[in-house]
Amino acid sequence: MKAIGLYKYLPIEDEQSLIDFHVDRPEPKGQDLLVAVKAISVNPVDTKIRAPKDQTETTPRILGWDAAGEVIAVGSEVEHFAVGDQVYYAGDITRSGSNSAFQLVDERIVGKKPASLSFPEAAALPLTSITAWEALFDRLGISHLGKDAGKSIMIIGGAGGVGSIAIQLASKIAKLNVIATASRDESRDWCLKIGAKLVINHHHSLVEELAAQNQTEVDYILCLNNTDQHWLAMAEAIAPQGKICSIVETTQPVELGLLKGKSATFVWELMFTRSMFQTTDMIEQHKLLNNVADLVDSGELVTTINKVIQPINAENLRKAHAMIEQGNAIGKVVLEGWAL
């Protein structure tokens, strides 16, 4: 089967940073599905893992953690899917990725593809939807039934992939007042279009930006961009007994003591935790992807796709990685259809 991978971790401008190759098609066992991949999308995690480092692979490493496709075979223990089902998923960071024509993926982290979406539209959603859902509803403890309606949340980095779905979930499902951050007119307009009540500039002082909007504090904060840079502002802006969640690793220690006086909570979100540690609640990702699919099909959520590139090959995947590395992408970049 066709696949795209790497032997060396190189700058994306290097043609060897991602290469086309062929590998044997895998066979599903246990709870695995074998999926014919129809479309993939690219996330910052792809570029971070591919980033230059002094390491070499003996066989090509296949990256990619977003896909939509069709089930063509199932393992002996599969309960929730059958051959012919159309699915979408983000996969498992400890296994071979979605940048291949066929992929094995555990059914417990797979959802039914939204019926109203094309494969590319669906491929834009899994990783960001899982991340945003877990961050808002599992980590921050916000009610997805609207019981926290009217409370405020600041989403730092609102126009990116995770921000684009988090704004929708927070505003349309949780009924929160969403304050997003963005630095350009086009990203500001995007955030307002998908549900943000206010947009402030994260290149300025967030505390001063909030004050200018008569907002002295917020009940929740979801940090999707540079935890180090925004830590002091988040500690100041969070309300007493409020909660902060970040998906961006720190590069230096942060002062947790700043949160003590407010009895505020800080928590991490990594959507790969359940699959990486084979947690007993892995099936929750299957359930939440199905919930997202239902919300899309009912018109409550929209896909965050912003650009489609055809076909799926190493050259185009390098282009997509380069776009993500620029750091100003709005929504998601998707690749569709394997080159003949």
Question: DSSP string covering 102-155, please?
Answer: EEEEEGGGEEEPPTTS-HHHHHTSHHHHHHHHIIIIIIS---TTSTTTT-EEEE
Mean pLDDT, residues 175-179:
98
Region for 41 from its dihedrals, namely left if φ exceeds 0, alpha if ψ lies in -120 to 50, beta otherwise: beta
Dist. CA 276–CA 271, nearest whole Å: 9
What pLDDT does 313 receive?
Answer: 97
What pLDDT does 65 receive?
Answer: 97
What is the DSSP secondary structure assignment for residue 17, as one 8-state letter? S
Which of the following CATH numbers is that of domain 2-125+279-336: 3.90.550.10, 3.40.50.300, 1.10.10.10, 3.90.180.10? Answer: 3.90.180.10
Q: Phi then psi for 293, rounded to 5 degrees?
A: -60, -45
Give the model's confidence band at 322: pLDDT under 50 very low, under 70 low, under 90 confident, else very high: very high
Mean pLDDT, residues 258-280:
98
Nearest to 328 by CA among 157, 193, 209: 157
Mean pLDDT, residues 159-187:
95
Decide if pLDDT at 120 tops 90. Answer: yes
What pLDDT does 331 receive?
Answer: 87
Say if pTM beats, i.e. exceeds, 0.85: yes
Residue whose token pair is 């902060």: 244
What pLDDT does 8 receive?
Answer: 97
What pLDDT does 132 receive?
Answer: 98
Give the model's confidence band at 284: pLDDT under 50 very low, under 70 low, under 90 confident, else very high: very high
Nearest to 194 by CA among 288, 300, 90: 300
Decide if pLDDT at 92 tops 90. Answer: yes
Mean pLDDT, residues 305-317:
96
Give the model's confidence band at 339: pLDDT under 50 very low, under 70 low, under 90 confident, else very high: confident
Mean pLDDT, residues 206-219:
94
Decide if pLDDT at 15 tops 80. Answer: yes
Decide if pLDDT at 337 tops 90. Answer: yes
Is beta strand 152-156 parallel, antiparallel or unpaired with respect to 177-181? parallel
Q: Cα-Cα-Cα-Cα dihedral of 140, 141, 142, 145, to 10°?
A: 150
What pLDDT does 113 receive?
Answer: 98
Q: Is the dihedral of CA 127, 132, 137, 143 positive or negative?
A: negative
Dist. CA 250–CA 36, nearest whole Å: 37
Dist. CA 114–CA 39, nearest whole Å: 14
Angle at which helices 185-193 and 161-168 cross, to 10°: 30
CB of 221 closer than 8 Å to CB of 245: yes
Query: In this structure, how many other beta carbons lie within 10 angstroms of the beta carbon of residue 46?
Result: 25
The mean predicted confidence, pLDDT, of the chain is: 96
Decide if pLDDT at 325 tops 90. Answer: yes
Query: CA distances (Å), 94 to each of 31, 105, 116, 176, 332, in order?
Result: 16, 11, 31, 35, 23
Q: Cα-Cα-Cα-Cα dihedral of 56, 60, 65, 66, to 10°?
A: 150
CB of 306 closer than 8 Å to CB of 126: no
Tokens found for residue 339: 């080159």
What pLDDT does 147 receive?
Answer: 97
DSSP assignment string, 162-226: HHHHHHHIIIIIS--EEEEE-SSHHHHHHHHHTT-SEEE-TTS-HHHHHHHTT---EEEEEE-S-
Dist. CA 174–CA 145, nearest whole Å: 6
SS3 state of residue 322: helix
Q: Phi then psi for 145, rounded to 5 degrees?
A: -100, 5
Residue whose token pair is 């304050």: 179
CATH 3.40.50.720 fits 129-268, yes or no: yes
Dist. CA 38–CA 68, nearest whole Å: 6
For residue 56, the surrounding DSSP H or E stretch is strand 53-61
What pLDDT does 327 receive?
Answer: 80
Decide if pLDDT at 340 tops 80. Answer: no
Decide if pLDDT at 52 tops 90. Answer: yes
Query: In this structure, how many other beta carbons lie within 10 angstroms of the beta carbon of residue 140?
Result: 23
Decide if pLDDT at 79 tops 90. Answer: yes
- Domain boundaries defined on the chain: 2-125+279-336, 129-268
Mean pLDDT, residues 290-302:
97
